Structure formats: structure tokens, C-alpha cells
Amino acid sequence: MEISLQNQVAVVTGASSGIGSGIAKSLAAAGATVVVNHSSERSLGEAQAILKEITDAGGNGITYQCDVSKEDQVIKMFQDTVSQFGTVDILINNAGIQKDAKFTDMTLDQWNAVIGVNLTGQFLCAREAIKEFLRRGIDTSRSIACGKIIHISSVHEIIPWAGHANYAASKGAIRMLMQTLAQEYGADKIRVNSICPGAIQTPINKDAWSTPQALNSLLNLIPYNRIGQPQDIGNLAAFLASDLADYITGTSIFVDGAMTTFESFSTGG
Ligand code: BGC
């Protein structure tokens, strides 16, 4: 059994670092041509480094700058991808940010920034991807599905998170976005799922792992007793995007070392 994404084109948002970069590498290793999206000029160097790793390993792709919270930029990213590669088969809706604050101190800018990237960005990219999937139709030389969308959500789509109301609200909403799209486009053979990572060692949560004390207290939340790596998410993304997962749609899969079993209950309750 082999995971193959040969002849397929994948757009991976927020692919210049963290979980997105791990997913971009996994999809490329499975044969997909990958659009390594990054949000700004500042992240171009990182995106180029990820693309170099991909091409050095024999894969294909391009870097593409687009702020996913901006409608005109998202429309253009999909138009340019289709003109360059013919179509899009896979969308990994990954770009995400945190702007943490105690709720009563949270500014509207912090709220809007997180909802803008994490939720509106996923809406805009999913809409353009689905329009392209429907335009192309099923092409079994590529995949038996018409298209695949994987939303990168979080354990915080079900775990409330004090001090992170904007982030948790965005992730909870992604669950309903994902399930609604799976329902609305199931008959068109478009598969839509979410991956919900737990604590993955990336820049977004550096404070939680960069000192031995912080890592120790983080591990208290993870029964499997290790922090996750971007590759842990990339492995599942490649499988979920492939035809091996053809009957999987409309669901959230947690990749979290059992964080969602609520470790604190192992000695209480
Ligand atoms: C957040 C991380 C956090 C993890 C587990 C993720 O969605 O982005 O900052 O470490 O959830 O709490």
C-alpha cells in the first residue's frame, strides 16, 4: 500500500514554517506539486528554504505570497495556480495565528486579526478551491474524488482555552465550516476533513517548549509524553488527501498524543 498524490496539485497555506511546512514536504514526497504559500515579503526566505528542501528531495512546487485574509489576494492565488498548473486538487487550509490576551483586555484588532486569518482565510480559500474542483470535475487519472480540502484546526476546537478566546472561537467555527462543506458538496465527490493538532513543536507555541520547565508542564497535558512534530501532521495530511482515504469525509481527526483525553482526570474526578 502506497500513498500517492502523483499528478495532483496542492495549495498549502502558511507553508513557510511550522505545521504547514511539514505538510508541504509530506505532500511533495507523495508526488504532489505544492504551492508553498506564505503571507508576506518577510516570510519569503523561509518559504524558499522549504521549497528548496522539496526540490532537493526530487519534488516540485513554487512559493506564492498571499495573505489569506484578503479576498483579492486569495482569488489571484487560485487563478495563478490554475494558469500555471492547470488545476488544484488539494487545499490544505493551514495558515493560522494567535494573538493571545485575557478576554477583558482583548482588543478588537486582536479579535479581528485571528478570525481574519484562521476563519475568514479558510472560508476564502475553500470557496476558490471548491469552485475550481467543480469547474474541472472528476478526473480519475488524478484522483477518484473531485477534490480534497483539509482544514487545520486544533484540539481547541473542543478544548476551551482561557486567554485565547479569539483562537478557540476560530477553531470551534472551523469544525462547523468543515462539516457543512462536507455535507453541501458530498454529492459532488468533494471530501472535506479537519486535522486537529495538539501541541506541535513550532514557532507559534515556542513559549510552551523552549525551556525545560515549560516543556515539563506541557508534557503534563500529554499522556503520550512527547511534544508533536510537524511530520506527525504531514503524515496524516498525505494519507487524508490520497484515495486511500476516499470514504473519510466530514470528520475531525485529532493528532495530539491523547491530549483530548484530559490528562488531569487520570488522578482526579
Ligand atoms: C496552539 C498551540 C498549543 C496547542 C495545544 C494549538 O492549536 O496553536 O499554541 O500549544 O494548540 O494547546
Nearest to 252 by CA among 199, 189, 196: 196
User: For the segment 192-248, what is each residue's pLDDT rounded down to a tens digit?
Assistant: 999 999 999 999 999 999 999 999 999 999 999 999 999 999 999 999 999 999 999
CA distance 48 to 42: 11
Q: Which atom of ligand 1 is nearest to the CA of 256?
A: 5
Q: Is 156 in the pocket of ligand 1 (CB under 6 A)?
A: yes
Averaged over 43-53, what is the pLDDT? Answer: 98
Confidence band (pLDDT; 50, 70, 90) for 125? very high
Q: 29-57 in b/e burial notation, b at 16+ Cβ within 10 A?
A: bbbbbbbbbbbeeebeebbeebbeebeee
Q: At what angle do helices 18-29 and 230-241 cross, to 10 degrees?
A: 50
Q: Is 204 in the pocket of ligand 1 (CB under 6 A)?
A: yes
User: What pLDDT is recorded for position 269?
Assistant: 84
Averaged over 88-112, what is the pLDDT? Answer: 98
**pLDDT at 264 > cutoff 90:** no
Q: Is 208 in the pocket of ligand 1 (CB under 6 A)?
A: yes
User: What pLDDT is recorded for position 266?
Assistant: 86
User: What pLDDT is recorded for position 14?
Assistant: 98
CA of 125 to the centre of ligand 1 (A): 22
Averaged over 59-79, what is the pLDDT? Answer: 98
Cβ proximity of 60 and 8 under 8 Å? no
* 3-class DSSP assignment, residue 219: helix
User: For the segment 159-187, what is each residue's pLDDT rounded down to a tens digit?
Assistant: 999 999 999 999 999 999 999 999 999 99
CA of 168 to the centre of ligand 1 (A): 10
The Cα angle at residue 260 between residues 212 and 165, in degrees rounded to 5: 80
Confidence band (pLDDT; 50, 70, 90) for 98? very high
Q: Is 198 in the pocket of ligand 1 (CB under 6 A)?
A: yes
Give nearest CA residue, ligand 1 atom 9. Answer: 205
Confidence band (pLDDT; 50, 70, 90) for 11? very high
CA distance 174 to 244: 24
DSSP designation for 228? B
User: What pLDDT is recorded for position 267?
Assistant: 86
In CATH terms, 9-257 corresponds, of 2.60.120.40, 3.30.420.40, 3.40.190.290, 3.40.50.720, to: 3.40.50.720
**pLDDT at 1 > cutoff 90:** no
User: What pLDDT is recorded for position 243?
Assistant: 98
Q: Under 8 Å CB-to-CB from 96, ≥6 apart: which residues? A: 14, 117, 118, 152, 154, 170, 204
CA of 249 to the centre of ligand 1 (A): 24
CA of 207 to the centre of ligand 1 (A): 11
CA distance 23 to 183: 25
**pLDDT at 55 > cutoff 90:** yes
User: For the segment 148-164, what is each residue's pLDDT rounded down to a tens digit?
Assistant: 999 999 999 999 999 99
Q: Is 159 in the pocket of ligand 1 (CB under 6 A)?
A: no
> For 7, phi and psi rounded to 5 degrees?
65, 10
* Whole-number average pLDDT of the chain: 98
For the record, the C-alpha cell of 17 comes out as 514554517
